Structure formats: C-alpha cells, structure tokens
Chains A and B, each alone.
Chain A
Amino acid sequence: AQTVTQSQPEMSVQEAETVTLSCTYDTSENNYYLFWYKQPPSRQMILVIRQEAYKQQNATENRFSVNFQKAAKSFSLKISDSQLGDTAMYFCAFSRDNTPLVFGKGTRLSVIA
C-alpha cells in the first residue's frame, strides 16, 4: 500500500519570504500522480498543484512550485513571496488511476506579518 509522509507538523514563515514543505511517499508503481492541497480555516480543500510522475519537469503554478525527485520519492512544495492568505493546512497526496487519494498527515503553515 502507498504511504505519504509529511515530517513537518507545523511551520511558520514571514510574509514575503519563501518556505518549503516536505513530502515523501512510498510506492512500487512507476506511473502515478502527486498533489498538494491547501485547507484554510474555512475547511475547503483546494487543489494547489499536481505533478504526473512521468513528467520530469517540475510543476509550477504562480507562486507555488514543486521539487519532484522520483528516485528519492520526494515531492516538496515551495511557496514564494508568502502571503497572509497562504496560512492553512497543506496536504500532500498520492494517487494512481482508478485509486483513491492517499493523504499525508498535513503541515500547518502560519504566515506571520
């Protein structure tokens, strides 16, 4: 079974600074998808970024980018120019076609003014 590990339960960052959230996963599959979801205090789970395992290029969405290291089974999220609205729980998730999402325990990020 696949597992996803987020080793940082809590992190904080100053507004406008850069922060990196870590995620590792365990799988024997070659084709899969990785995601970062954001869950602010409103509880709405929002898809931040996705990465297909077959793509070598790291995904980027505005201020959010990932560092995908397939051999190391590592999938970190970098948030640049952090904003107060980035304060949330961040979940790393793994999936393959026809299987449900497997989530990590989450990292609580606080952006400090």
Chain B
Amino acid sequence: KAGVTQTPRYLIKTRGQQVTLSCSPISGHRSVSWYQQTPGQGLQFLFEYFSETQRNKGNFPGRFSGRQFSNSRSEMNVSTLELGDSALYLCASSLAKGTAEQYFGPGTRLTVT
C-alpha cells in the first residue's frame, strides 16, 4: 500500500505570494492532519480534516487555511507569505476520526525569500 504523498517536495516563494501544498493520504485513510516544523518552534499542529470537515485547528493566523476533498486528498494554502513561514510542512493521515496513530508524508520544504 502506498504511503502518504506530498507535492511539491521543495518550493521557493517570495514574500507576499501565496502557496498551495497538496497531500494524498494512505488509501482508506479519511483523516488528514497538517503540521509545521521549524528549528525554533519544533512541530506545531496546523489543522485536521475528516470527511471534508475541519475538526481541529491549531494556533495559526488566518493566512493558513486548508481543505479536504471527497477522495480524502487535502490541500493547505498560505496567503501573503512571510519570511517566518519558511518551514517543513508535514502531512499525516490516519484511518478514522479519533484514531491516534498517524502516518506521515515526506514533507514539503517551503523557503520564503
């Protein structure tokens, strides 16, 4: 069974631009979570989607948004990019709502210049 896939793997953007990252969960997994990883703040939760509905949201500004499609694929969008948004963005999928065990994708490395 294929693992979690994320595209693109690397991205360079300029301040003020917007970016969309994509995540395809493991087949059959319906929950997708997004995390931001930086050297200073570590791993921080962004949001979680289950059956196209946002179930949980972390403490990030409204510039960070996401959605989930009927096939469980998820996208996250960051608008008006800031230098501090440079990070590794990790997507994780789990089998169902309430399932604690999550499996991660390889991440998207975003660099904002």
Interface residues on chain B, number (Cβ under 8 Å): 24
State the main secondary structure of chain B at its contact with A.
Answer: strand
| Interface check B14, CB cutoff 8 A | no
- The smallest C-beta distance from B2 to any residue of chain A, in angstroms, reads 14
Q: Which of B98, B106, B109 contacts A44 (CB 8 A)?
A: B106
Q: Which of A37, A42, A47, A106 contacts B106 (CB 8 A)?
A: A42
B-to-A contact residues, CB < 8 Å = 33, 35, 42-43, 45, 48, 55-56, 58, 88, 90, 92, 97-107, 109
- The smallest C-beta distance from A21 to any residue of chain B, in angstroms, reads 16
Contacts of A35 in B (CB 8 A): 100-101
B100 touches A95 (CB 8 A): yes
**CA distance in complex: A97, B104 (Å):** 18
A45 touches B42 (CB 8 A): no
- The smallest C-beta distance from A37 to any residue of chain B, in angstroms, reads 8
**CA distance in complex: A91, B58 (Å):** 19
Interface bits A39-68 vs B (CB < 8 Å: 1, else 0): 000111111001000000000000000000
A105 touches B58 (CB 8 A): no
Subset of 23 A-B contacts with CB under 8 Å: A35-B101, A43-B106, A44-B106, A45-B90, A45-B92, A47-B104, A91-B43, A95-B100, A95-B102, A97-B98, A98-B55, A98-B56, A98-B97, A98-B98, A100-B33, A100-B35, A100-B45, A100-B48, A101-B35, A101-B43, A101-B102, A103-B42, A104-B42
**CA distance in complex: A50, B99 (Å):** 12
A33 touches B104 (CB 8 A): no
